[in-house]
Every structure is written in C-alpha cells, then in structure tokens.
Amino acid sequence: MPGYKGKEYYAPVQTPDVNKLEKRFLGLTDIQIGLFSLPTIVIIGSIVLFVLNRKSRYNPFVLVSLILSLIHFYHHYKLAKLENKQ
C-alpha cells in the first residue's frame, strides 16, 4: 500500500479497461432494457401458461407460436446489440 514501508507490492495497478455500468447488461442502453422488459415478461408468462395448461400442450399452434415469438425476440435483441456496436 502506498505510504506503508515494505507493503508497496499491494498497491493497486491502473488498467485501461474499467468495468463501468455501460458494459453491464450485455451492452444495452437503459431505454433498450426497458423496451425488452415487457416482451420478456409476456414470453415467460406464455411459457408458464403453456407448461401449466394441459390442453395447450396438445395444440401445435401454441407451440409453434411460442417458438416463433422466441426467435423474433432473439432477432430484435441481436439487432439492438449490433446497433450499439456502431
């Protein structure tokens, strides 16, 4: 530690990369996180209803619509991440 004799090797080293809040949450802005929160809740709720409802398990339309909504959500997520890299 600086100022303590014999303990200089414990001094912190400055590095160029600093973990900031912008790097967290996978590189999305605050507005994008807010825009993705509602569709995430809807998709998770749909999956829970699909698992709990026995009649919907035998309906292929429900399963196909869930798969398409997950693919669509992932597509928008990737587009938002690519937009932030520019």
pLDDT in tens, 38-83: 888 888 888 888 888 888 888 888 888 888 988 998 888 888 877 7
Q: What are the residue ranges spanned by the domains of the chain?
A: 29-85
Judged by phi (left if over 0) then psi (alpha if -120 to 50, else beta), residue 27 lies in left
Residue with tokens 């587009």: 79
Instruction: Using alpha carbons, select from 76, 80, 7 the residue that is nearest to residue 43.
Output: 76
Its pTM stands at 0.56
